[in-house]
């Protein structure tokens, strides 16, 4: 698993795909979909926590995609504003 990159989102097109992957998702290329954990696995753990990132990895996420913001003094912080 890489710590940059998603699981809330799965990029597939089941309605138009012709090939079936072993995961059960249809994709145009026939390759398995890439699973990305946006904010980790927020259904079971606090979002943006180490526990949520770890849980996403345990559930098969290929990437974790945190909400990052750059502060005025040049530091990256995890931040989500709705």
Query: Which pLDDT score, from 0 to 100, does residue 72 have?
Result: 92
2 lies in some domain: no
Across the range 7-11, mean pLDDT stands at 37
Q: How many domains does the chain have?
A: 1
Among 40, 43, 48, CA closest to 76: 48
19 lies in some domain: yes
Query: Which pLDDT score, from 0 to 100, does residue 24 have?
Result: 65
Would you call 48 a catalytic residue per the annotation? no
What is the domain extent for residue 74?
Answer: 9-78
List pLDDT tens digits, range 42-77. 888 888 888 998 898 888 888 888 888 889 999 988
Catalytic member of 6, 7, 38, 55: 38
1 lies in some domain: no
List pLDDT tens digits, range 18-31. 334 445 667 788 78
Query: Which pLDDT score, from 0 to 100, does residue 64 have?
Result: 87
Distances in Å between the Cα of 44 and the Cα atoms of 29, 41, 66, 71 are 32, 6, 16, 29
Catalytic member of 5, 19, 29, 80: 80
């Amino acid at each position: 698993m890489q710590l940059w990159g998603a699981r809330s989102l799965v990029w597939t097109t089941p309605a138009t795909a012709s090939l079936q992957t072993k995961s059960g998702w249809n994709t145009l290329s026939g390759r398995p979909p890439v699973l990305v954990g946006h904010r980790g696995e927020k259904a079971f753990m606090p979002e943006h926590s180490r526990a949520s990132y770890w849980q996403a990895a345990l559930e098969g996420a290929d990437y974790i995609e945190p909400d990052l913001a750059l502060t005025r003094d040049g530091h990256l912080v995890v931040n989500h504003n709705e």
